[in-house]
């Protein structure tokens, strides 16, 4: 008897499942790793990504992977963990992708031999727990003191410089390392809100012309006639921050006005002028010398303030206005009826200066000092943009150092030590996961191997030497980029926050487990953005 055919899915739906699907997903992730792996480390290469008319040059893993426009559903998981690593700790975005790819590649042979994916996942999760436990034990706590002494500051600067080792501004890492630590230490110690660190890019000049403003600086806003007559420098000014529009508005645009006597029209016009003048007089009576507003300040108000030797700026970006409030102790007002000393801000110096071809308003000597601004210079837009990304990573690293107070050695040292520990642990495991844990441990060697390859060294010799050093108790030995060999990277001050490593290991393991748990992919024929049938796993 012939069984009737049951049509469950719409015609044109593409389904693939089983071992072949798992291998296909692993290969798609390997294609992403292949793109990113040459960017790892101090000798990593940059990628030039051309999207429409925008050109980006970067070796930041999160930036590259977001610009790749990956459409393969499994490979997008790597893009997600790279972004999460960037959001959470700010650095290690390439490392997390390479680790995930190594874990998947290690699992590939087991899948081909018919091992159930759940057995691999169970082994990986057990190994991850052991690795994170040992990482916490290996981490070296930073010295805890009430005041930020010189030794602690040196540690923070070295962590900041390590984050810049693999960046475009590596040769200026000492210059920027000091600047980054200064910036983070100006923040509130409890919150460490990095949104209060403003970064402004100004084309022109050398990268070493960059500087730190202990306060707020923002680009001169759009201004009306009369602005040129306003003073551009104040000592100890009183600052009013507003969310109020100071423009002469025609009231007929807000309401319908009917008059029976044409002579009364002048009274309506006079009322409109009285409204704006009342607002301006309230501001002047408050004693304010600098008026900043998120909303427009029109030509009438600009000239009004200029005649009284006051400075004003309208259409100030909200983020900059909030940073001025945090620095000066002022409060943003939506009404002008209660302007007093308590809601006004103060600083020791305000001035408008020329930086490159732009004019910038600067507030320095602020009493609260909870915010700073980094002015980044450079010859090309792409170079400045990459400098900004590099400085952001370094800022995040210093922030995590202050929050978690534990560091480990970089240069592949911690990965080699965890690999050794896990291999020893696997010898005591009696079930079939022993081989899987051993393969997981082997995958950690991807990081030092790639560091050596990117520097042009013989990675086999370097790995053999590192294995010998770690077997003899040299737990902090990693790749010596400068002298083509191995060295104690802790003594060389190549330091990284332990939280960066723990987050990357946990995220990479979880991503590998998610991909290994998928045994079927169903593509709806109407789905947008997916490659057509027959298109290679990595598309567009």
- Would you please indicate which residues are annotated as catalytic (active-site) residues? 60, 93-94, 393
Pick from 384, 510, 412: which is nearest to 40 by CA? 412
Decide: 40 and 450 in contact? Cβ < 8 Å: yes
User: Pairing between strand 238-242 and 290-293?
Assistant: parallel
- Distance (Å, whole) CA 203 – CA 2: 76
Rounded to the nearest 5 percent, the helix, strand and coil shares of the chain are 50, 15, 35
- Distance (Å, whole) CA 337 – CA 342: 14
DSSP 266: H
> What is the per-residue burial (b if ≥16 Cβ within 10 Å, else e) of 116-149?
ebeebbbbbebbbebbbebbeebbeebeeeeeee
Reduced 3-state DSSP string for 417-464: HHHHHHHHHHHCCCCCHHHHHHHHHHHCCHHHHHHHHHCCCCHHHHHH
Compute the radius of gyration of the chain from its Cα atoms. 30
Alpha helices in 165-243 (DSSP H): 173-185
Pick from 414, 386, 390: which is nearest to 495 by CA? 414
- Distance (Å, whole) CA 537 – CA 71: 9
- Distance (Å, whole) CA 49 – CA 32: 14
**Sheet of strand 358-364, all strands in order from the earlier edge strand to the far edge:** 215-219, 358-364, 349-355, 233-235
- Distance (Å, whole) CA 327 – CA 186: 10
Decide: 244 and 352 in contact? Cβ < 8 Å: no
Q: How many residues does the chain have?
A: 540
Q: Name residue 478's beta-bridge partners.
A: 487
Q: Name residue 487's beta-bridge partners.
A: 478
Decide: 105 and 512 in contact? Cβ < 8 Å: no
DSSP 44: P
Decide: 237 and 230 in contact? Cβ < 8 Å: no
For residue 355, which phi and psi values (nearest 5 degrees)?
A: -125, 110
Strands (DSSP E) contained in 468-516 are: 477-480, 485-488, 495-497
């Amino acid at each position: 008897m012939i069984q009737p055919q049951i049509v469950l899915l719409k015609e044109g739906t593409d389904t693939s499942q089983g071992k072949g699907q798992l291998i296909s997903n692993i290969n798609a992730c390997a294609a992403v790793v292949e793109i990113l792996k040459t960017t790892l480390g101090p000798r990593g290469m940059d990628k030039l990504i051309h999207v429409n008319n925008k050109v980006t040059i970067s070796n930041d893993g999160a930036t590259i992977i977001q610009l790749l426009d990956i459409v393969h559903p499994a490979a997008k998981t790597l893009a997600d963990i790279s972004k999460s690593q960037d959001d959470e700790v700010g650095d290690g975005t390439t490392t997390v992708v390479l680790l995930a790819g190594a874990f998947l590649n290690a699992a590939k042979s087991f899948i081909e031999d018919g091992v159930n994916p759940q057995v691999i996942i169970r082994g990986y999760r057990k190994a991850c727990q052991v690795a994170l436990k040992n990482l916490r034990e290996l981490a070296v706590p930073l010295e805890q003191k009430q005041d930020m002494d010189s030794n602690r500051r040196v540690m923070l600067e070295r962590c900041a410089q390590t984050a810049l080792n693999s960046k475009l501004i590596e040769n200026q890492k000492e210059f920027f390392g000091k600047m980054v630590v200064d910036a983070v230490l100006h923040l509130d110690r409890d919150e460490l809100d990095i949104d209060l660190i403003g970064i402004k890019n100004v084309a022109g000049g050398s990268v070493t012309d960059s500087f730190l403003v202990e306060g707020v600086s923002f680009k001169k806003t759009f201004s009306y006639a009369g602005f040129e007559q306003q003073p551009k420098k104040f000592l100890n000014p009183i600052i009013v921050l507003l969310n109020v529009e100071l423009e002469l508005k025609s009231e007929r645009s807000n309401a319908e006005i009917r008059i029976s006597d044409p002579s009364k029209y002048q009274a309506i016009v006079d009322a409109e002028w009285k409204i704006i003048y009342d607002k301006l007089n309230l501001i002047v009576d408050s004693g304010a010398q600098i008026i900043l507003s998120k909303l427009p300040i029109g030509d009438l108000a600009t000239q009004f303030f200029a005649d009284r030797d006051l400075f004003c700026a309208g259409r100030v970006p909200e983020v900059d206005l909030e940073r001025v409030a945090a620095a000066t102790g002022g409060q943003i007002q939506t009404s002008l009826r209660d302007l007093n000393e308590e809601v006004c801000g103060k600083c020791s110096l305000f001035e408008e200066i020329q930086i490159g071809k732009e004019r910038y308003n600067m507030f320095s000597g602020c009493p609260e000092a909870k915010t700073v601004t980094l002015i980044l210079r450079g010859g090309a837009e792409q170079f400045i943009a990459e400098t900004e990304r590099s400085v952001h990573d370094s800022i995040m690293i210093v922030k995590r150092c202050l929050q978690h107070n534990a560091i480990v050695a970089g240069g592949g040292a911690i990965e080699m030590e965890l690999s050794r520990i896990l291999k020893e642990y696997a010898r005591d495991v009696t079930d079939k996961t022993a081989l899987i844990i051993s393969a997981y441990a082997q995958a950690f060697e991807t990081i030092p191997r790639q560091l050596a390859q990117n520097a042009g060294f013989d990675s086999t010799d370097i790995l053999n030497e590192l294995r010998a050093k770690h077997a003899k108790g040299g737990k902090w030995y990693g790749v010596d980029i400068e002298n083509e060999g191995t060295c104690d990277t802790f003594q060389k001050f190549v330091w990284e926050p332990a939280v960066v490593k723990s987050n990357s290991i946990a995220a990479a393991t979880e991503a590998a487990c998610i991909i290994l748990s998928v045994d079927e992919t169903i593509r709806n024929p109407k789905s947008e953005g997916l490659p057509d049938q027959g298109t290679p796993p990595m598309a567009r």
